[in-house]
Amino acid sequence: MNINWTCTSFHDLSPESLYEILRLRSEVFVVEQQCIYLDMDDKDQSSHHLMGRVEGKLLAYARLLPPGVSYPDASSIGRVVSSPSARNQGLGKILMGEAILRTSNLYPDVNIKIGAQLYLLDFYKSLGFDPIGEPYLEDGIPHIEMMRLKKSPFPQ
Cα Rg for the chain, rounded, in angstroms?
15
Per-domain residue ranges of the chain: 4-113
Specify the pTM.
0.94
Summarised one tens digit per residue, pLDDT across range 49-96 is 999 999 999 999 999 999 999 999 999 999 999 999 998 899 999 999
Fold of 4-113: Aminopeptidase (3.40.630)
Q: How far apart are CA 66 and CA 20, in angstroms?
A: 22
Summarised one tens digit per residue, pLDDT across range 94-110 is 999 999 999 999 999 99
